[in-house]
Amino acid sequence: MRGLDPSVAAGGEGAPARCPYCGGTNTEREHPKGPSLCRSIHFCADCEEPFEAMG
């Protein structure tokens, strides 16, 4: 695992994901094609990098 802060997972739906690169929450949720189980794709506006996040 990548050592994400478990407290982030308690944010619930609608809470911005925390960027694993810079730790910021200036992120947007992407809409991947196909079934997404418990992961979602987010995009950090600061790093300009996509990342996966739980929930």
Interacting residue ranges for Zn ion, rule: CB under 5 A? 19, 21-22, 44, 46-47
Closest CA to 16 of 47, 38, 49, 45: 45
Least distance between Zn ion and beta carbon 53 (Å): 12
Pick the closer one to Zn ion by CB: 15 or 22: 22
As measured in angstroms, the least distance from the Cβ of 21 to Zn ion is 4
Closest to Zn ion by CB, 34 or 52: 52
